[in-house]
Chains A and B, each alone.
Chain A
Amino acid sequence: MRTSTCFQCRYVILIICWLATLTSWAQTALTGTVRDAATDEPLPGVSIVVKGTTRGTATDAEGNFTLAASRGEVLVVSFVGMAKQEITLADQTTLAVKLADSKQNLDEVVVVGYGQQNRSELTGSVTSVDNTVFKSVPRTNVGTALQGTSPGLRVQQTTGQPGASPNIVLRGGTDYNGTGSPLYVVDGVVVPSLFGINMQDVEKIDVLKDAGSAAIYGSRAANGVILVTTRKGKAGKTSVTYSYKTARNYVRRNPLDYMSAADYIRWNRQGLASRYALAQLDGNTAEMNSTRNQLTGAWGWATNSAWTAPDGKYSTQLVSNANRRLLRDPQYGLLVDANPFNSNQKDSILYRSVSQRDLEDLILQRGVLNEHYLNFSGGNEQGNFSLGLGSISDQGILIGANLKRYNLNFNGGLNVGKNLVIGLNLAGYSAQSNDAYISADGGGGVNGGIVQRFTGIAPTVRLTNDNTGDQLPGVDGSTLGNPNYLRDKFLNQTGEQRYSGALNLTYNILPGLKALGQATGFYRYTTAETFNKAYINGTGGALVATRNASFTTQQVSNYLYNGFLQYDKTIGKHSLTVLAGGELNENRVYNYGATANLAATDFIPYLAASTAAVGVPTSSFASWQRLASAIGRIDYRFDNQYLLTVNLRYDGTSKLTNNRYGFFPGVSAGWNMHYADFFANSAVHQFISTLKPRLSYGVVGSIGILSDYATVPQYSSVGTYNGQPGFAAGSVTNTDLRWERASTTNFGLDMGLFNNRITLIADYYIRNVYDKLGSLTIPVASGFTAYTTNVGQLRNRGLELEVRADIIRPVAVGGFSWSVSANVSHVKNFAVKLPPNGLAQNRQGASQIFDPEQNRLVYVGGLQEGNRVGLDEVYAPVYDGLYTTQADLDARQTFYNSYLPTTNKRLKQLGDARWRDVDKNDTLDYRDFVYVGRTTPTVYGGFSTSLGWKGFSLFAQFDYSLGFVIANQQYLRGMSQVQGSQNGPTDVTQTWTPDNPNATLPRYYWANYGRNYFTDGGGNATPAANFWQKGDYVALRELTLSYETPSQLLAQLSGNRLHGLRVYLAGSNLLYFTGYNGSFPEIGGNDVGRFPLPRTVTLGATISL
């Protein structure tokens, strides 16, 4: 290593311990009290430090403190969540300080990397999440609290599975495809996700957005840093807080209405007739016969003779002497329908029907959530502590999905002597979650999982025996089977435990100089277990008694050591803080797994009872990486007016080989203009109370997309062949990869109007990702399709705006108050430079369409140098109305549809889509595709309003995403009947027929034979542009009514035993305001039928003793 410095923290800790024997010196005593400006109640645990020295103390339970200080010195009084104050001492010996709540103003304390700052001193772009959203709604994943509350973050929930982590992307992401996960740091411990963290333990969440502030996290901070701070003990009387939440998860139904059984049968027969007619036009007798045969095939609408049995899979049957009695059976309905192949013949069809709601009720349920939380905290001169214990159980609305979790979080601080402070954080959780008994969304494939497949199952399905009423296994053993039979057959359980700890040491060496050391680590064990009980694979099917049992276990260990020296100095109006040190981080992952089968019974759901192994059990040291870093920060302030922060980081990683080290600096500057004399004296100051322009520039790194050994050429296993191990190269390796570097220039403005009644935080940024690590398409003949290089540049450009306004401030304690806040984010990504590949604009993944304006073929989508990133763009063919008259058909007789399955591709029938021939070449093909939209939102954010009066408060939180498109596959797969037996939405009955000649929806064909909805038969292609919908939505995410008993009243009533009581009623995920016709508008692109978010109503109470 040529220039890097790397600290080994254990040395530092040793030194710190050794130095712990040093003593301090005393001065004359100053006493005082600190009270809450709003309630006038004493504040315990407030930190009071003599500026530029190591002298300091904290207030006791009555808010009193004593401190040695002398005239001219400056006291810094600070408390998390309150505005910090600086008081220059004159000759006084007593002091009364009042701290104001900083929640809604520009003076809050903000946690930054390796320290904390007051927002008024902050120069970077950092969002502190409004902790109102922490309080009421039960959250099984902390990440959901960020949705709509943090400008710059796009937070998308993707599933209603309890505990699931939402997708979180900062400022458009640093990957071309718009992804990139932020770094999560909980109390200094870098963790892989926010899963498992108890919301109730969280005191604060801060998001470092610009490189100026995030540079201190260097190489891993390109996608921002989310810092979670858990509760710390405050000096004063020990307090005990208990809170309880009980909630109901209400079913969110599919807004689509499906056809009745009679319509379902009638329309599928109609669809066959359409198919038959087209095959006839094509002169294809084989296809005509095959279509005709489907009338009695094995479909839910077909009159297959197997369906006449009282336990047939479906119930559709022709009336015959054998079943005539069913005409009087109340279970049965009768449909008289013309035979689609012989209009003179009427078919009398008997069927049993099950309603859409009944089907939904078989897989959806009302769930219950319960949460308990107990917190003990306190502190005195010797130290402080906070212990949180929590448990939560949450039942999802999809049957079988649930989560149980137990949490422990301990923060302790110990003052050893006068100069050594030891901080300890210990946290752990144990979470046990079960997935729905069958995958909710089928792994995201367009075929979908149980939500799409089962809710759209044939309404003629037979779930019980006609005669006995016994439950039947249903159509098959997977997504179409009877949930009443199958729901307890497939066990699928995941358990996760994580234990983390952080030891922090602070030693005051000399006035202004201290040493800081930290050792953190976590272990995470994840075990996934499955067991299939013996089950009958569909009514009348085989008994599958294989009883597969499997487990996989993953062990992750992560250690981090660091050590710093910090020097604080104030000379006159100059104030300086310098921090320097080093850090070493290591992460290892081990995987174990095995599968076995043929257990004797269903009663032992473990491998223990299996009698044969399936495949080879595995164990592997799957991942290993290290990061060594040198870190520095300089904060300089002049007269609290001019602010400058420099963050420096030098990182070396084991992931790279030839270019291991990278230097990542960040500089940010701010100007508290409102402190400037000219401003303070001007008339503007009456309106503008705070005005701080900020400017930052920084470079952070990223190698996130690289696997551990991405720069090491290697051969890995490609399977066993005839008992021998086979290995091969999976990729062609680039040993010269370098750090990807993201530089952000951030222009920010903090503004407070009317005595900070309205505050505004605005940021505009340009992030350039240089040396972009990306996949380069290489010629197929090389044997590979892609190669990882660093030759590229991505640019994100965006704007964030956050406004908070105290529209009505309380005139007295308990007075009426109303505040609102809103934020908006917008970002665009550009491919500035791409690896040269000899193609125009070095394009990758672009496709060709015809542009009528330029009258030529153009490349669109994908990546093209100089253009916006087009990977999320959707292109599809579009139709302009239908062929409704013979004249329409004649006019386009020669029009060739290359997607038709017929031999003659010029065929068309009345009611077919009249495709737009964009390039006027009389042919429909890829060149006629038009731009539909993007699958990622261009504008997103949230807003909230809060009303307060005498302890009552009403809070509402909304979030929104605009400017993206979504395709409802539940709707489309029904309209196109690509799955053969599925029911479709009632819109099927609005499609074109000779009897409905003015319809605007194209003709319904069985199995999409006319290709009116998709260009292929299986529904895997992009649906026509006409069927993409705008996903724009506003969600009413939270609505809470709460009552907090005023403390004086409470003290009187309880004889001073109770210190706080809050009760509330909260609703979450209540409502989407959207034009989208599915149940989950939050994610663009294909909606294959997701596990919907429940509507949750919570009743909760918090009591403090």
Chain B
Amino acid sequence: MKSFKLLLLAGGLSLGTSLVSCQDKLEEVVPQTSLNQSLVLTDANAALTLYTGVYASMRSYHATLLNLGEMRSDLWADGLFNETEDGTTKQLWSHDISATNAPVGSWGSFYSLLYRVNTVIKLFPNAPLDEARRKSALAEMYGLRAYIYYTMLRTWGGVPLITEPVSTIGNLADLYTPRAAPADVMKLIKDDIEQSLTLFAGSNTFTTKRVYWSRAASLTLKGDVNIWSGTHLGGGSADFTTAKTALEEVKAISTLGLQATYADVFDPLKEANNREVIFALSFEKNEATQSAYTNFLVNTTQASTLVLDPVPGPAVAVSSAYPLVAGANRNGLSSAMIARLTSGPTDARIRNSFRLMYRNTTGNPVAGTLLTKFIGRVDAGIQLYDNDFPIYRYADVLLLLAEANTKLGNDPSVDINAIRQRAYGTTYTRYVNGSQNANLNAILEEYLREFIGEGKRWWALRRAGDAYVFAAINPRYLPAGQTYKLLLPISIGLLNNDPKLTQTPGY
């Protein structure tokens, strides 16, 4: 029995020690490949990962920005293409939009990005960064937040305003958020822009690659936003003047200007100190490459049966000119749009934006277009789609300024001509100041040609005014008077899941 007692003793001892060690054993297990809030608040480098995380996240919104800013315009409507249609973009350009068929669901997922922006805005005041870095990072975040809400305002009108990151989920009813009035969204946008400009404290510096928000970006956005609020929210000439002042300030920044050669703006090998770029989303080998234009390209089977430049010849098979490009030809330009863009004096922007693909049959009819502006380059035996995607560039500033001047009744021709000169060369046709309507149409023509694939044409039409939208869009798709269709509805699913949400007016 002695051994039995001993066993009990040993058992008791081991039990006692294990009581303590057990808890320790469980607490030892901590995440090994992630950071947390307390690290962010104690280490500057950890904090900066959240700042970079915002940009890395924003990069994935490329296709959304393209769809929202361009695909509802006349540019890609009724296009020629070789495969079956791209249903997503067709819905947009044919305005096949209704309450039961709402495109761009879940607010374009922008709230996920806003959460990340809001997290930086909340944590950085307490993070151990040096003061200058903290301020510039926060200045960028306020600028980005304004840009995101501006994109949402232009798309849906009033949207829920969220400026704090949610930390815990208590009662769900507290999380339901109604849509704010458009004027309140606009107020937040303008406040954020001012906050951003204050924090930038007059510094116009750029990083080598201009892939971060900057003071120039905040100023350009300020111009863009004020033309909008002047046109659509009753701001009138006060807002246009604010826009003009901001844009002139950007125009005067010495490190900015037009690239002499249009193609250089987008060249992935000329991204460093690209003087035309104000803010672009970065795409790089081994980081992330573009995929937003897959359906603007061509598949390998089609490519072997299509040719480039049959006139004057010799024709080159698409598959030999672009042997490694793969994708699908599901978006294109209509014959009328092709004629509009390719007839007349040679416009450097057109040849550097897309190529026409022709059938290999007699007469070589046009089969479709190949968007080459963002086609990247051949690298290591693959097609590397590493062009940056500009959000704002100097050409925007010139055309926005022309818009502001037009709306103020001033002569916009100097800025329009700056754009034209680069496009057509020294023999370009000078634009001469005309009526406000003529001026705006001239500006819109430059938007059409300058920004193919950059997500700008629809916004430009909208900013010009509703009449310009209805004039441009085929009334089969968007009959005049269907003003409510200029904003998008939200999905039944979204309405089902949030009792405080209401449908966009008119749907």
Report whether B10 and A628 are in contact in the complex, using a CB–CB cutoff of 8 Å. Answer: no
| Contact with A718, one of B13, B48, B56 (Cβ below 8 angstroms) | B56
In the complex, residue of chain B having the shortest beta-carbon distance to the beta carbon of A544: B381
- Specify which chain B residues have a CB less than 8 angstroms from the CB of A22 in the assembled complex: 3
Report whether B499 and A838 are in contact in the complex, using a CB–CB cutoff of 8 Å. Answer: yes
- Specify which chain B residues have a CB less than 8 angstroms from the CB of A926 in the assembled complex: 100, 492
> How many chain A residues have a CB neighbour from B under 8 Å?
115
Judge whether A687 is part of the interface by a CB distance below 8 angstroms: no
In the complex, residue of chain A having the shortest beta-carbon distance to the beta carbon of B79: A286
Report whether B302 and A6 are in contact in the complex, using a CB–CB cutoff of 8 Å. Answer: no
| Contact with B302, one of A19, A298, A621, A837 (Cβ below 8 angstroms) | A298
| Contact with B33, one of A620, A729, A778, A1018 (Cβ below 8 angstroms) | A620
In the complex, residue of chain B having the shortest beta-carbon distance to the beta carbon of A590: B32
- Specify which chain A residues have a CB less than 8 angstroms from the CB of B116 in the assembled complex: 728-729, 783
| Contact with B172, one of A11, A713, A837 (Cβ below 8 angstroms) | A837
Give a binary string over B11-26; 1 marks a CB under 8 Å from any A CB, 0 the rest.
1011101111111011
- The CA-CA distance from A510 to B4 in the complex, in Å, is 8
In the complex, residue of chain A having the shortest beta-carbon distance to the beta carbon of B107: A780
Considering only residues 63-102 of chain B, those with a C-beta below 8 Å from chain A are: 78-85, 87, 90, 94, 96, 98, 100-101
Judge whether B365 is part of the interface by a CB distance below 8 angstroms: yes
Judge whether A584 is part of the interface by a CB distance below 8 angstroms: yes
| Contact with A719, one of B81, B118, B288, B381 (Cβ below 8 angstroms) | B288
Judge whether A1103 is part of the interface by a CB distance below 8 angstroms: no
Report whether A6 and B18 are in contact in the complex, using a CB–CB cutoff of 8 Å. Answer: yes
Stretch in B160-168, B216-224, B245-253, B369-377 touching the partner: B160-168
Listed residue (A22, A298, A622) with the most chain B CB atoms within 10 angstroms of its CB: A298
Report whether A836 and B18 are in contact in the complex, using a CB–CB cutoff of 8 Å. Answer: no
Report whether B49 and A715 are in contact in the complex, using a CB–CB cutoff of 8 Å. Answer: yes
Judge whether B304 is part of the interface by a CB distance below 8 angstroms: yes
Report whether B30 and A712 are in contact in the complex, using a CB–CB cutoff of 8 Å. Answer: yes
- Specify which chain B residues have a CB less than 8 angstroms from the CB of A978 in the assembled complex: 84
Stretch in A609-617, A672-680, A872-880, A948-956 touching the partner: A609-617
Contact A783:B166 (CB < 8 A) given known A537-B300, A778-B172: yes
Report whether B168 and A725 are in contact in the complex, using a CB–CB cutoff of 8 Å. Answer: no
Report whether B175 and A719 are in contact in the complex, using a CB–CB cutoff of 8 Å. Answer: no
Report whether B209 and A722 are in contact in the complex, using a CB–CB cutoff of 8 Å. Answer: yes
Report whether A8 and B209 are in contact in the complex, using a CB–CB cutoff of 8 Å. Answer: no
- Specify which chain A residues have a CB less than 8 angstroms from the CB of B286 in the assembled complex: 613-616, 720
Give a binary string over B54-66; 1 marks a CB under 8 Å from any A CB, 0 the rest.
1111010000000
Judge whether B361 is part of the interface by a CB distance below 8 angstroms: yes
- Specify which chain A residues have a CB less than 8 angstroms from the CB of B94 in the assembled complex: 903
Report whether B49 and A729 are in contact in the complex, using a CB–CB cutoff of 8 Å. Answer: no
Report whether A313 and B304 are in contact in the complex, using a CB–CB cutoff of 8 Å. Answer: yes
- Specify which chain A residues have a CB less than 8 angstroms from the CB of B209 in the assembled complex: 722
Judge whether B7 is part of the interface by a CB distance below 8 angstroms: yes
In the complex, residue of chain A having the shortest beta-carbon distance to the beta carbon of B382: A546
Give a binary string over A572-592; 1 marks a CB under 8 Å from any B CB, 0 the rest.
000000000010100000000
- Specify which chain A residues have a CB less than 8 angstroms from the CB of B52 in the assembled complex: 721-722, 724-727
- Specify which chain B residues have a CB less than 8 angstroms from the CB of A1007 in the assembled complex: 84
| Contact with A509, one of B4, B162, B168, B335 (Cβ below 8 angstroms) | B4
Contact A779:B305 (CB < 8 A) given known A476-B300, A510-B4: no
Report whether A903 and B36 are in contact in the complex, using a CB–CB cutoff of 8 Å. Answer: no
Contact A732:B32 (CB < 8 A) given known A293-B365, A785-B106: no
- The CA-CA distance from A777 to B115 in the complex, in Å, is 17
- Specify which chain B residues have a CB less than 8 angstroms from the CB of A216 in the assembled complex: none
Min Cβ gap B171→A in Å is 8
Min Cβ gap A708→B in Å is 7
- Specify which chain B residues have a CB less than 8 angstroms from the CB of A582 in the assembled complex: 18
Stretch in A139-147, A652-660, A1044-1052 touching the partner: A652-660
| Contact with B304, one of A540, A625, A716, A778 (Cβ below 8 angstroms) | A540
In the complex, residue of chain B having the shortest beta-carbon distance to the beta carbon of A923: B100
Considering only residues 977-1020 of chain A, those with a C-beta below 8 Å from chain B are: 978, 980-981, 1007, 1016-1018
Contact A721:B287 (CB < 8 A) given known A727-B35, A728-B57: yes
Judge whether B472 is part of the interface by a CB distance below 8 angstroms: no
Contact A722:B381 (CB < 8 A) given known A654-B26, A838-B176, A980-B84: no
- Specify which chain B residues have a CB less than 8 angstroms from the CB of A718 in the assembled complex: 53, 56-57
Report whether A298 and B10 are in contact in the complex, using a CB–CB cutoff of 8 Å. Answer: no
- Specify which chain A residues have a CB less than 8 angstroms from the CB of B119 in the assembled complex: 728-729
Judge whether A848 is part of the interface by a CB distance below 8 angstroms: yes
In the complex, residue of chain A having the shortest beta-carbon distance to the beta carbon of B167: A732
Report whether B37 and A713 are in contact in the complex, using a CB–CB cutoff of 8 Å. Answer: yes
Report whether A720 and B304 are in contact in the complex, using a CB–CB cutoff of 8 Å. Answer: no
In the complex, residue of chain A having the shortest beta-carbon distance to the beta carbon of B59: A721
| Contact with B168, one of A547, A716, A732 (Cβ below 8 angstroms) | A732
Min Cβ gap A865→B in Å is 14
| Contact with A660, one of B26, B96, B176, B367 (Cβ below 8 angstroms) | B26
Considering only residues 838-865 of chain A, those with a C-beta below 8 Å from chain B are: 838-839, 846, 848
Contact A542:B32 (CB < 8 A) given known A305-B360, A729-B115: no
Report whether A727 and B50 are in contact in the complex, using a CB–CB cutoff of 8 Å. Answer: yes
Judge whether A304 is part of the interface by a CB distance below 8 angstroms: yes
- Specify which chain B residues have a CB less than 8 angstroms from the CB of A370 in the assembled complex: none
- Specify which chain A residues have a CB less than 8 angstroms from the CB of B367 in the assembled complex: 293
| Contact with B477, one of A7, A709, A903 (Cβ below 8 angstroms) | A903
| Contact with A726, one of B14, B26, B54 (Cβ below 8 angstroms) | B54
Contact A714:B35 (CB < 8 A) given known A306-B305, A785-B106: yes
Judge whether B311 is part of the interface by a CB distance below 8 angstroms: no
- The CA-CA distance from A780 to B497 in the complex, in Å, is 9
Judge whether A538 is part of the interface by a CB distance below 8 angstroms: yes
Judge whether A682 is part of the interface by a CB distance below 8 angstroms: no
Listed residue (B55, B96, B168, B169) with the most chain A CB atoms within 10 angstroms of its CB: B169
Give a binary string over B33-51; 1 marks a CB under 8 Å from any A CB, 0 the rest.
1111100100000001110
| Contact with B56, one of A8, A11, A720, A785 (Cβ below 8 angstroms) | A720
| Contact with B323, one of A12, A541, A776, A778 (Cβ below 8 angstroms) | A541
Judge whether B496 is part of the interface by a CB distance below 8 angstroms: yes
Contact A1:B19 (CB < 8 A) given known A541-B300, A779-B177: yes
Judge whether B431 is part of the interface by a CB distance below 8 angstroms: no
| Contact with A620, one of B32, B173, B300 (Cβ below 8 angstroms) | B32
Give a binary string over A657-687; 1 marks a CB under 8 Å from any B CB, 0 the rest.
0001000000000000000000000000000
Judge whether A626 is part of the interface by a CB distance below 8 angstroms: yes
- The CA-CA distance from A329 to B301 in the complex, in Å, is 26
Min Cβ gap B15→A in Å is 6
Considering only residues 917-936 of chain A, those with a C-beta below 8 Å from chain B are: 925-926
Give a binary string over B473-484; 1 marks a CB under 8 Å from any A CB, 0 the rest.
000110000000
Considering only residues 285-329 of chain A, those with a C-beta below 8 Å from chain B are: 286-287, 289-290, 293, 296-298, 304-306, 313
- Specify which chain A residues have a CB less than 8 angstroms from the CB of B18 in the assembled complex: 5-8, 11, 582
Report whether A901 and B85 are in contact in the complex, using a CB–CB cutoff of 8 Å. Answer: yes
Min Cβ gap B392→A in Å is 17
Name 5 extra pairs, CB < 8 A, besides A624-B32, A782-B169, A901-B85.
Answer: A298-B82, A727-B34, A728-B57, A783-B114, A1018-B84
Q: Pull 7 A–B residue pairs with CB atoms less than 8 Å apart, ordered by A.
A: A22-B3, A597-B380, A654-B26, A715-B35, A781-B177, A787-B169, A1017-B84
* A residues at B contact (CB < 8 Å): 1, 4-8, 11-12, 15, 19, 22, 284, 286-287, 289-290, 293, 296-298, 304-306, 313, 475-477, 509-510, 513, 515, 537-542, 544-547, 565, 582, 584, 597-598, 612-616, 620-622, 624-626, 628, 652-654, 660, 708-709, 712-729, 732, 734, 776-785, 787, 789, 835-839, 846, 848, 898, 901, 903, 925-926, 978, 980-981, 1007, 1016-1018
Going nearest first, the 9 A-B pairs with the smallest beta carbon separation are A783-B115, A726-B56, A542-B323, A6-B22, A546-B381, A654-B29, A726-B53, A728-B53, A727-B49
